């Protein structure tokens, strides 16, 4: 039972690396130590990406530890000018310290790196029983050791001389208590290292696997043929057209992007399924992100232009991006000056500017390539058109099943043109004003808009037979095309008209109330929609941040912050770029209706750049969920709600 005392002594301040050890899942994967080892490998790869290292050598030891060795410049060992602590100690013991923060010309250790979270090897150190670092730099060898929890053992010691050799060797013993599995999977490590070799032409990457008999199995990767060689090796069959591999980066005169930003890629079309991979500054983005969206957009526009120019599209067939890219496999390596990832594990890129960056870099070169390789272009076009015709034929079959006895759709529903349930989306929008902006911002092909006038009725204790007495609930149900049901039912959702239902309300108290009422409706009366992953909540930003141009290094740009925390992080990042915060303009959105269509499309509706949260349920916690819903939404629970608010009220951030 929680203590009733709530005073000054209730507060605990986590110092140094304590936050990582208290909540490791906020900083890294906890299924295995693979990601904390990857942080060390990424540092070595950053040296290679900058042109300072030619060899990365990793050893997986029998005792579960891992050594990463590179021939880069070596971590600086001198005192930090402000902190008066050796820089190597700062790197391994401070969460917000590193050589990747200062992006001003000439002051950054890395022009392009895997992110600015400022944790990296500090998290590795925090979650290890022991870390030993050896640095070869300026003719000397230096060594330092860290104990469990990241505590420094002794001082930074000079171990000897090394001539002209430079580099860093790090050996890490992960602490098993923080991970489900105590050892790194050799197969996962091999995949990671092979990808580094692919993305770093001219760099040799080696892995030693120690055996029980004392011997070693050594694997080495080097890809002189780059991305094209890699995708050829991983594909299960031959492509229908030659693989297109190229790269393009912004120069000093580029109007939209910083020098060096751009991408390298290789892609082809296959009849058999072939996996795709993407990276940002050598960091593998296994869940994709905005750079992949940009690649698909650029390729789609180029292929569409090729088809239209040669009049290859049959009458009545409408080409969509998935028709062109559905059978495409690719390897994409993007370079961004300041990438923003989803979470510290960096599995998905969120940077909105990456869509425009990659699409603009890919489209023109690929369009020229198609014009020079007409037979290859026709093969790609033929496959894309077949996909489009099959999709339209399938959707027509679905439409015939739905038309018999269908109810008249609500008059205020602005429907989409497509009948493909998998890609159709219904946005439930707060108010006619926001509905008007959403109609102009939407993709007419796949996105439908249903404005809600006022707040939906609290349906927690309403019987299913009385639901349709409320106009808003009636319109939602008719637009969806399915009937109310109970949790234990297994309803047939064949008449469902949209694959995604997105609740889009203002980022204020009223908006949160509307979200709660709609979630109550779906959880109580349409539970299969939540159970099967059809319900989402849009996360429109609260703030718009206009950042001025910074010489030729950075053009003017617009950023968005979800809340106060993100706004503070953006300001901090901009300051580190050398731009004074008084030079930026911050605007607060009062609601969705205040956003112009372009802003609403970019932040809440475009699948490439929006933020939406999928709503899921945990069957194991069903009783607890029902109890909480009953407490918050039940008419006879006023006294219980009051007691709950008195107990939890201090945790609320009031929007006044």
In whole angstroms, give the CA distance from residue 458 to residue 586: 36
R_g (Cα) of the chain, nearest Å: 28
Tell me which of 430, 472, 475, 606 is the catalytic residue. Answer: 430
**CB of 560 closer than 8 Å to CB of 604:** no
Tell me which DSSP letter residue 86 carries.
Answer: B
Which one is catalytic: 102, 508, 566, 637? 508
Going by C-alpha positions, the residue among 608, 611, 612, 640 that lies closest to residue 627 is 640
CB 483 within 8 A of CB 493: no
Give the integer Cα–Cα distance in Å for 156 and 655: 50
Phi, psi dihedrals of residue 214, rounded to the nearest 5° = 90, -5
Q: DSSP letters along 118-132, please?
A: S-THHHHHHTEEEEE
C-alpha neighbours within 13 Å on the C-beta side of residue 313: 18
CB-CB contact of 283 with 354 (8 Å):
no
User: Minimal CA–CA distance to 146: which of 76, 67, 93?
Assistant: 93
Residue of 219, 6, 116 whose CA lies nearest to 572 = 116
The reply to whether 492 belongs to the active site is: no
Structure tokens at 162: 């090394």
CA distance 40 to 170: 8
Residue holding tokens 């951030």?
Answer: 653
3-state secondary structure of 180: coil
Measuring CA to CA, which residue among 136, 181, 199 is closest to residue 36?
181
By CB atoms closer than 10 A (0-12, 13-18, 19+), residue 158 is exposed
404-to-391, 398, 399, 481 alpha-carbon distances in Å: 22, 11, 9, 12
31 is catalytic: no
Residue 227: closest CA among 178, 182, 277, 301: 277
Length of the chain: 656
Instruction: Catalytic residue, from 261, 506, 577, 606: name it.
Output: 506
Backbone phi, then psi, for 271, in 5-degree steps? -80, -30
Does residue 323 carry a catalytic annotation? no
Q: How far apart are CA 276 and CA 265, in angstroms?
A: 11
Q: Quick check: helix, strand or coil at residue 592? A: helix
Identify the active-site residue in 210, 510, 566, 572.
510
Tokens linked to 384? 């894309």
* Catalytic-residue membership of 508: yes
What's the rounded Cα separation, in Å, for the pair 397 and 375?
33
The residues carrying an active-site annotation are 430, 506, 508, 510
């Amino acid at each position: 039972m929680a203590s009733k005392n709530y005073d000054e002594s209730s507060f605990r301040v986590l110092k140094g690396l304590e936050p990582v050890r208290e909540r490791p899942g906020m900083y890294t994967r906890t299924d295995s130590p693979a990601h904390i080892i990857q942080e060390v490998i990424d540092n070595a790869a950053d040296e290679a990406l900058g042109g300072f290292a030619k060899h990365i050598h990793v050893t997986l030891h029998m005792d579960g530890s891992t050594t990463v060795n590179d021939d880069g410049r070596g971590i600086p060992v001198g005192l930090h000018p402000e902190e008066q602590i050796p820089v190597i100690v700062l790197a391994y013991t401070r969460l917000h310290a590193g050589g990747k923060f200062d992006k001003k010309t000439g002051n950054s250790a890395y022009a392009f790196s895997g992110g600015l979270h400022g944790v990296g090897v500090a998290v590795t150190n925090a979650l290890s029983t022991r870390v030993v670092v050896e640095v070869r730099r300026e003719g000397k060898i230096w060594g330092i050791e860290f104990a469990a929890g990241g505590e420094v053992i002794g001082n930074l010691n000079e171990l000897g001389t090394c001539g002209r050799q430079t580099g860093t060797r790090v050996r890490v013993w992960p602490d098993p208590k923080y991970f489900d599995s105590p050892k790194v999977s050799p197969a996962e490590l091999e995949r990671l290292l092979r990808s580094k070799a692919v993305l770093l032409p001219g760099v040799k990457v080696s892995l030693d696997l120690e055996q029980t008999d004392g011997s070693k199995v050594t694997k080495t990767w080097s890809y002189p043929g780059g991305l094209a060689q890699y995708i050829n090796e991983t594909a299960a069959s031959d492509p229908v057209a030659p693989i297109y591999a190229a790269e393009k980066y912004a120069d000093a005169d580029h109007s939209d992007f910083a020098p060096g930003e751009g991408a390298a890629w290789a892609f082809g079309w296959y009849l058999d399924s072939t996996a795709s991979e993407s990276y940002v500054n050598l960091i593998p983005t296994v869940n994709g992100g905005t750079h992949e969206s940009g690649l698909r957009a650029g390729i789609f526009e180029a292929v569409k232009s090729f088809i239209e120019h040669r009049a290859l599209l049959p009458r009545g067939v409408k080409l969509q991006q998935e028709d062109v890219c559905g059978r495409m496999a690719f390897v994409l390596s993007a370079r961004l000056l300041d990438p923003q990832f989803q979470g510290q594990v960096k599995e998905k890129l969120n940077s909105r500017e990456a869509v425009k960056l990659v699409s603009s870099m890919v489209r023109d070169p690929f369009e020229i390539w198609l014009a020079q390789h007409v037979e290859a272009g026709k093969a790609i076009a033929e496959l894309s058109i077949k996909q489009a015709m099959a999709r339209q034929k399938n959707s027509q079959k679905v439409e015939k099943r739905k038309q018999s006895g269908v109810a008249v759709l609500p008059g205020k529903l602005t429907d989409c043109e497509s009948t493909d349930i998998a890609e159709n989306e219904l946005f439930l929008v707060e108010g006619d004003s926001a509905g008007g902006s959403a109609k102009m911002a939407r993709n007419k092909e796949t996105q439908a808009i249903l404005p809600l006038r006022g707040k939906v009725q609290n349906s927690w204790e309403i019987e299913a037979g009385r639901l349709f007495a409320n106009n808003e609930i009636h319109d939602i149900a008719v637009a969806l095309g399915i009937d109310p049901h109970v949790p234990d039912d297994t309803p047939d959702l064949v008449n469902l008209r949209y694959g995604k239902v997105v609740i889009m309300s203002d980022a204020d108290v009223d908006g949160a109330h509307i979200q709660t009422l709609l979630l109550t409706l779906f959880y109580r009366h349409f539970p299969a929609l939540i159970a099967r992953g059809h319900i989402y909540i849009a996360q429109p930003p609260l703030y718009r941040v206009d950042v001025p141009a910074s010489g030729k290094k950075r053009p003017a740009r617009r950023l968005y912050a979800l809340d106060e925390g993100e706004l503070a992080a953006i300001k901090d990042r901009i300051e580190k770029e050398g731009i004074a915060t008084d030079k930026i303009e911050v605007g607060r959105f009062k609601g969705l209706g205040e956003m112009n269509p372009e802003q609403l499309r970019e932040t809440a509706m475009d699948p490439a750049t929006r933020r939406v949260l999928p709503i899921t349920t945990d069957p194991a916690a069903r009783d607890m969920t029902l109890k909480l819903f009953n407490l918050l939404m039940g008419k006879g629970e006023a006294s219980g709600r009051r007691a709950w608010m008195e107990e939890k009220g201090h945790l609320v951030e009031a929007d006044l």
